[in-house]
Amino acid sequence: MSVVGFDVGFMNCYVAVARAGGIETVANEYSDRCTPACVSFGPRNRSIGAAAKSQIVTNSKNTVQGFKRFHGRAFSDPFVQSLKNSLVYDIAQMPSGTTGIKVMYMEEEKVFSIEQVTAMLLTKLKETAENALKKPVADCVVSVPCYYTDAERRSVIDAAQIAGLNCLRLMNETTAVALAYGIYKQDLPAPEEKARNVVFVDLGHSGYQTSVCAFNKGKLKVLATACDPLLGGKDFDEVLVNHFCEEFGKKYKLDVKSKPRALVRLYQECEKLKKLMSANSSDLPLNIECFMNDIDVSGHMNRGHFEEMCVEILARVEPPLHSLLEQAKLKKEDVYAVEIIGGASRIPAVKERISKFFGKELSTTLNADEAVARGLIVRCFLRTTQHLSPKC
């Protein structure tokens, strides 16, 4: 039996294993280390991962993603109700009062709990790990955001049990990142010397987490964490989508938000445009063929205009950093380095804000996408070598 680390994100998942004397993020059947957190239900079968993502446009009503945010939440929760109208798929109340997902599967209407859908995804990740290791996988460590409540954590553990996994531990993503950073550092101060304080800033697709950790040789201490669970790369996508919905409404007389399929396509194109703008400051085109009513649409955007539209979102970057230093009772000059990870941390305006706040160059020694998964497997390895009890 082997222990593996599952980084289950809002949009993508990563599987890490320890083998051949090192830590490795394993690839799926498409030779891709990134597996989309997506499940699609059809009339004859069910698709998970990359196969499901390819059906987001063609089978939008029965293809679910972003379900991570519903773990442990009641259907009546104001947060769930606020998201209800923005979802392409339907959600419903389970007999227990929790949130479920309503889809057409095998030509029948079914409601699956969030735990069941997450278990489907974990089963796929388990298969990926088993194919890579060529042996059965039962024990795992799963990542969760640091702001998850006890109910949300229990929901993730239940999902792992449904998938036939023994979840040894749920690990905060902030701690996993710190472990991934410290495990290979050979120049850390000795235990009796002053600790090295490193700040980690993780801006993903749907959450913003920060932590400050003190490092000595063989020792790691998380001094403080601060977060904004509602800030993420999705907010930047939303700004672009709203802009083009308005533009296409005036230019082509199209009500984009009335057609879920068209809206999904626009989200996909806006996400691509956002990534292109991170690497290019010139005017960039957005073209979609047969967008709605057989009409081809086009628009353009540049980084300067985009940043102007995102001023309110960018203003939310600093408050968690202020809170972090206050909790840790540290000054900016006490920080040795600032490591950034997460997909949305690649946005130049975000990097500029963080760098300006700390008054130093940002460090990118960690893999922005795989750092959490690598940290999880470090924890798996430590647990195995130290013969720790799974309940400790």
The structure tokens listed for 251 are 């230019």
Strand pairing partners for 248? none
At residue 385, the pLDDT reads 46
Average pLDDT, the chain: 92
Complete DSSP assignment for 101-146: EEEEETTEEEEEEHHHHHHHHHHHHHHHHHHHHTS-EEEEEEEE-T
Does 380 score more than 70 pLDDT? no
For residue 179, report the phi and psi dihedrals to the nearest 5 degrees.
-65, -45
- Our answer to whether residue 202 is catalytic in this structure is yes
Which of the four pLDDT bands, split at 50, 70 and 90, describes residue 222? very high
Mean of the pLDDT values across residues 35-55?
94
Name, in order, each residue with C-beta under 8 angstroms of 180's C-beta and a sequence gap of 6 or more.
Answer: 366, 371, 372, 374, 375, 378
The 10s digit of each residue's pLDDT in 237-282 is 999 999 999 999 999 999 998 888 899 999 999 999 999 999 988 9
At residue 20, the pLDDT reads 77
Mean of the pLDDT values across residues 199-225?
94
At residue 391, the pLDDT reads 35
At residue 184, the pLDDT reads 82
Report domain extents, the chain: 191-231+316-365, 233-312
CATH for 233-312 is 3.90.640.10
CA distance 14 to 342: 13
Residue 47 near residue 40 (C-beta atoms within 8 A): yes
Domain 191-231+316-365 of CATH type 3.30.420.40: yes
Mean of the pLDDT values across residues 96-122?
95
The 10s digit of each residue's pLDDT in 224-238 is 999 999 999 999 999
Does 388 score more than 60 pLDDT? no
Q: Which of 173, 235, 271, 307 is catalytic?
A: 173
Q: Which of 7, 152, 237, 247 is catalytic?
A: 7
CA distance 301 to 107: 42
- Our answer to whether residue 235 is catalytic in this structure is no
The 10s digit of each residue's pLDDT in 342-361 is 989 999 999 999 999 999 99
The structure tokens listed for 339 are 């490591």
Q: What is the pTM of this model?
A: 0.92
At residue 382, the pLDDT reads 63
Q: Which of 24, 115, 158, 202 is catalytic?
A: 202
The 10s digit of each residue's pLDDT in 57-98 is 999 999 999 999 999 999 999 999 999 888 889 999 999 999
- Which amino acid belongs to residue 303? R
Name, in order, each residue with C-beta under 8 angstroms of 388's C-beta and a sequence gap of 6 or more.
Answer: 382
